[in-house]
Amino acid sequence: MTYTPTNSDQSSWHATTILTVRKGDRVVIAGDGQVSLGQTIIKSNARKVRRLGRGDVIGGFAGATADAFTLFERLEAKLEQYPGQLQRAAVELAKDWRTDRYLRRLEAMMIVADAGTTLVLTGTGDVLEPERHVMGIGSGGNYALAAARALIDEPLDAETIARKAMAIAAEICVYTNTNFVVESLDA
């Protein structure tokens, strides 16, 4: 069976690679800056990674930008409601995301981290902790994930691993560029 792109596929927004690496005393989330519409690069320096709450949580998103910002705002509200409890805030957001009629339509994934926890949140209600302290999402996420897993046991710090893995993903995925935004926290 062959896949034939539909008009909606050709006009959908693409281009996100988000990677998290937790190693030693640091957790890092890195994201590329490319946003594409079909075969056209619309923007090369989008900021898909940012600090949340009081700056003690970092997050990155893959998916529709407006949807991701809505989810970031909702997560920040949950973090205010449950200060210092990222996992509880994330679970409460996932419940809302899955059950609220408006939120259910949002198309995005998020990676969030604080000093002790890294989580991936999806619209299907998943709140997942990554294996081996690395996770990638988005169009180049699997490439970055594979590269980070290959590098995790090397004598490199978390940020170096993230930058190298993102560079590898950018060489492979046409929807990923090398305009990286990297945020980190002490673990």
Inter-residue contact 162 to 113 (CB < 8 Å): no
Question: CA of 167: how far to CAs of 12, 27, 147, 164, 181, in Å?
Answer: 24, 18, 9, 5, 12
Residues 136, 108 contacting (CB under 8 angstroms): no
Indicate which residues carry an active-site annotation: 16
Distance of CA 186 to the CA centre of its chain: 19
Residue 112 three-state SS: strand
